[in-house]
Amino acid sequence: MTRKFFVGGNWKMNGDKKSLGDLINTMNGAKVDPNVEVVCGAPAIYLDFARSKLDHKFGIAAQNCYKVAKGAFTGEISPAMIKDCGVHWVILGHSERRHVFGESDELIGQKTAHALENGLGVIACIGEKLDEREGGITEKVVFAQTKVIADNVKDWSKVVLAYEPVWAIGTGKTASPQQAQEVHHKLREWMKKNVSEAVASSVRIIYGGSVTGGTCKELGSQADVDGFLVGGASLKPEFIEIINAKQ
């Protein structure tokens, strides 16, 4: 089973029209591996701007959405609005949504179901905290998070699973290629047992957490690492190197 390599950029709450415009110009002019699917997560207010400027060979993702189509939910955005901006992906369950904004597994599951039902692709994030890794419960945590997502997915072709250990996000402490491979392999085994063999072999499991131009090649060469979700480095020209990690 060949899984198309997937490189997501998560711009988080960074940039302005000037700096993101410069980044977009760099991306539009870069030579990128045509065998890689690239999707950039833009701040909600810049989705339209990013979609109008970024070459259409690159996808765009929202960084969040709500669980219903419309209504009195001040500050929220819906999958329908995201699609109305020509955007076809959303990042859900990011650790910053979970731990800074207190999103529960249940809410993330509901958002996942609603986004998929409304035609968005979902980059679904999971990952353990440092104390959980040190306590030896990494598997337990990521399996529980994955189960809630899986319970809300009917069509896995629209889902990319992003394993992002919280201790590796924005810390410069990348998981070693072996650590990433071990968890990705276990997640695939979990999928085999709890979803289906076909989904286990076709779903892309990407790694996120301090990925850089320096670490991407070895991480990307692991059997079960099908790409990356990149934060800080996705705002720099270095992102091109990461897209081209397999070349």
Active-site positions? 94, 164
* Helices (H), ranges, the chain: 17-29, 47-53, 79-84, 95-99, 105-117, 130-134, 138-150, 177-194, 197-202, 216-220, 238-243
Find the shortest distance in angstroms from Cβ 69 to ligand 13P: 26
Specify which residues 229 forms β-bridges with.
Answer: 8, 208
Kindly list the residues in this chain that would bind ligand 13P in the complex (CB under 6 A).
10, 94, 164, 169-170, 208-211, 229-233
CB 41, min distance to ligand 13P, A: 7
Comparing CB distances to ligand 13P, the nearer of 12 and 67 is 12
Query: Could you give the angle at the alpha carbon of 121 between the alpha carbons of 59 and 36, nearest 5°?
Result: 45
Q: Cβ of residue 58: shortest distance to ligand 13P, in angstroms?
A: 17
- Exposure string of 95-114, with b = 16+ CB inside 10 Å and e = fewer, is bbbbeeeebebebbbbbbbb
Q: Given the complex with ligand 13P, which of 189 and 241 has the nearer CB atom?
A: 241
- Specify the residue, 133 or 200, whose C-beta has the smaller distance to ligand 13P: 133
Place of tokens 């390599």: 5
- Amino acid identity, position 127: G
- Nearest residue (CB) to ligand 13P, 121 versus 208: 208
Q: How many CB atoms lie within 10 A of CB 29?
A: 9
User: Whose CA is closest to 208, among 128, 105, 134, 147?
Assistant: 128
Smallest separation (angstroms) from ligand 13P to the CB of 171: 7
| Total residue count of the chain as it appears in this document | 247
HEC readout, 118-180: CCCEEEEEECCCHHHHHCCCHHHHHHHHHHHHHCCCCCHHHEEEEECCHHHCCCCCCCCHHHH
Which of residues 184 and 200 has its CB atom nearest to ligand 13P in the complex?
184
Q: Reduced to 3 states, what is the DSSP secondary structure of residue 207?
A: strand
Taking CB atoms, the residue at the shortest distance from ligand 13P is: 231
Which of 39, 200 has the CB closer to ligand 13P?
Answer: 39
